[in-house]
Amino acid sequence: EMLGFELELLKAGIAHNAKVYCLWHHRIWAVDRLVKMGVEGVLDTELSLCNDLLKLDERNFHCWGYRLAISERAGLTEEQGLDFTKEKIDRNFSNYSAWHYR
């Protein structure tokens, strides 16, 4: 329960300033604990959050790095990752963050 509250607090912090390293690092720490506890759906929720945040700022490399970490934990394939980056590049060819994570 406390970790769920912590994720909400971190989400508010990220909404205020999405380019603070410590927020992203602490968020992955909290997610790892929830996954270890067997909480269902955490990784899907985090991927959805990343998708929403990257719609707001498609070049936020903090969010891209976090998405990569979550994708690995969720067991997404390299092809799924490439499909995601291709979608972002098709939307904006000069999205250097998407190119970097290909």
Single pTM value for the model: 0.91
Distance CA 64, CA 98 (A): 8
Distance CA 19, CA 2 (A): 24
Q: Cα–Cα distances in Å, from 22 out to 41, 51, 62, 66, 70?
A: 23, 20, 10, 12, 16
Which two tokens mark 97?
Answer: 């963050």
Distance CA 10, CA 21 (A): 12
What's the pLDDT tens digit per position in 13-43?
999 999 999 999 999 999 999 999 999 999 9
pLDDT at 98: 87
